[in-house]
C-alpha cells in the first residue's frame, strides 16, 4: 500500500477548498489520511494523478466525496440508545409539543432516519413529526431516499431491532425482499425530507426539537467540533435535545455549558441556555 505525507494531504484539502468549496482542512488527520489512501487505491491513483484529476475533472468531485465520507452505519445502532429515545426523550418532547421537528445531521445511507421513522410509527406519532435528513454527499442521499439495503445487512439490523424490543415481531414487517435487497416501505419516509447540507460551511437553516449527529463529528478535529456544536446549539429550540455517538464527548467545547447531560451513557444532551 502507498503512503502519503501530511503536506500532500494538505495540498489535497486546499485544492478541494479553493476549487469546490468543501472544507476538509479541519478533518481528523488519521481517518482523512486513510480515506484518501483508500481512494488512491480504489481508483489506481498516485498523489500527483489524484491532484491532477481533481484539478481537471470537476465531475470527479462527487465520486471523490462519496468515497471520502464514511458511509458505514446500521439500523438501531446501540439498541439501548433507541430504548432511551422511545421511553424518555420522545415522551419528554411530547409533553410540550404535539408536533415537532428532528434533524439527522450527516444521515449517510439513511439507516438512522429509517430507524427513527420505524420507532415513531410504533409509537403512533410518525404523522406528527417532521424529519430533515442531511448529508454532504449527494450520491449517498439518493441511495438513502430509496430505503433499500442489501439483504446481507439485515441480519445485524434485525439483531439490533430485537434488542431494541420493537413492537413488530421482525423488521420483515417493514420491508419486502427483492433481488437480494430489503426494500423498506416508502411510506415510512412520508415526512422525511432529504437535503444536501454541509455541516462545516453550511448555514443554519431551521430550528429543531431534536438533533441527531452520531459518529459524524469524530471525523473532525477539536476546533471544528467546537464550531459545529455552535451550529447545533443555534439550530435547537431552547430545551431541545442533541444526541451524539456513544464515545463522543462535548466537554471541551466552548458551548458545552449551554447544555446539560440528560443521559451520559447514551450521550444525550439538552440545550438549557441560548
Partner 1 sequence: MNKYNLNNSFKAVVIGGSAGSFQGMVKILSQLPKGFPLPIIMCLHRLKHVRNGFVEALSIKSVVQVTEPHDKENIKKGGVYLAPANYHMSVELGHYFALSTEEMVNNSRPAIDITLSTCGFVYKEKLIGILLSGANRDGAQGMRAIHEKGGLTIVQEPTECMIDTMPKAALAATKIDHVLRVDQIVEFFKELDKQYR
Cβ proximity to partner 1: between 134 and 157 the closer is 157
The least CB distance from residue 17 to partner 1, in Å, is 21
Rank residues 209 and 226 by Cβ distance to partner 1 and give the closer one.
Answer: 226
**Sequence-distant (≥ 6) Cβ neighbours of residue 256 within 8 angstroms:** 229, 250
Q: How far is the CB of 61 from partner 1 (least distance, A)?
A: 21
Question: What whole-number distance in Å separates Cα of residue 255 and Cα of residue 259?
Answer: 7
Residue with Cβ nearer partner 1 (6 or 190): 6
Measured from the Cβ of residue 177, the count of other Cβ atoms closer than 10 Å reads: 11
Nearest to 64 by CA among 16, 23, 1: 16
**Closer CB to partner 1, residue 70 or residue 262?**
70
CB-wise, 31 or 185, nearer to partner 1? 31
- Break the chain down into helix, strand, coil percent, rounded to 5: 50, 20, 30
- Nearest Cα to Cα of residue 85 among 115, 42, 41: 115
Compute the least distance from the CB of residue 186 to partner 1, in Å: 27
Which residues partner with 134 through β-bridges? 105, 195
Residues engaged in binding partner 1 (CB under 8 A): 28-31, 34-35, 70, 72-73, 78, 80, 156, 159-160, 163, 215, 217-219, 221-222, 225, 245-249, 252
Largest Cα–Cα distance in the chain? 57
3-state SS record for 108-128: CCCHHHHHHHHHHHHCCCHHH
Residue 133: phi, psi to the nearest 5? -115, 125
CB closer to partner 1 out of 240 and 245: 245
Amino acid at each position: 500500500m502507498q503512503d502519503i505525507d501530511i503536506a500532500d494531504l494538505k495540498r489535497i484539502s486546499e485544492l478541494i477548498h479553493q476549487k469546490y468549496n468543501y472544507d476538509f482542512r479541519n478533518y481528523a488527520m488519521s481517518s482523512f489520511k486513510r480515506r484518501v489512501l483508500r481512494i488512491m487505491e480504489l481508483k489506481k491513483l498516485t498523489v500527483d494523478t489524484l491532484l491532477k484529476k481533481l484539478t481537471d475533472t470537476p465531475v470527479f468531485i462527487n465520486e471523490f466525496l462519496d468515497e471520502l465520507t464514511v458511509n458505514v452505519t446500521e439500523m438501531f445502532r446501540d439498541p439501548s440508545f433507541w430504548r432511551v429515545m422511545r421511553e424518555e426523550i420522545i415522551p419528554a418532547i411530547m409533553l410540550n409539543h404535539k408536533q415537532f421537528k428532528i434533524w439527522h445531521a450527516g444521515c449517510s445511507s439513511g439507516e438512522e432516519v429509517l430507524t427513527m421513522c420505524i420507532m415513531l410509527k410504533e409509537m403512533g406519532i410518525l404523522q406528527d413529526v417532521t424529519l430533515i435528513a442531511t448529508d454532504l454527499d449527494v450520491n449517498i442521499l439518493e441511495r438513502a431516499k430509496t430505503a433499500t439495503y442489501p439483504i446481507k445487512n439485515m441480519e445485524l439490523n434485525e439483531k439490533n431491532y430485537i434488542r431494541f424490543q420493537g413492537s413488530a415481531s421482525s423488521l420483515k414487517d417493514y420491508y419486502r425482499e427483492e433481488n437480494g435487497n430489503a426494500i423498506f416501505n416508502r411510506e415510512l419516509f412520508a415526512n422525511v425530507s432529504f437535503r444536501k447540507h454541509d455541516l462545516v460551511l453550511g448555514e443554519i437553516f431551521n430550528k429543531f426539537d431534536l438533533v441527531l449527529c452520531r459518529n459524524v463529528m469524530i471525523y473532525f478535529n477539536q476546533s471544528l467540533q467546537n464550531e459545529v456544536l455552535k451550529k447545533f446549539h443555534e439550530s435547537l429550540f431552547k430545551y431541545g435535545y442533541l444526541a451524539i455517538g456513544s464515545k463522543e464527548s462535548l466537554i471541551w467545547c466552548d458551548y458545552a455549558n449551554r447544555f446539560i447531560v440528560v443521559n451520559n451513557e447514551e450521550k444525550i444532551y439538552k440545550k438549557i441556555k441560548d
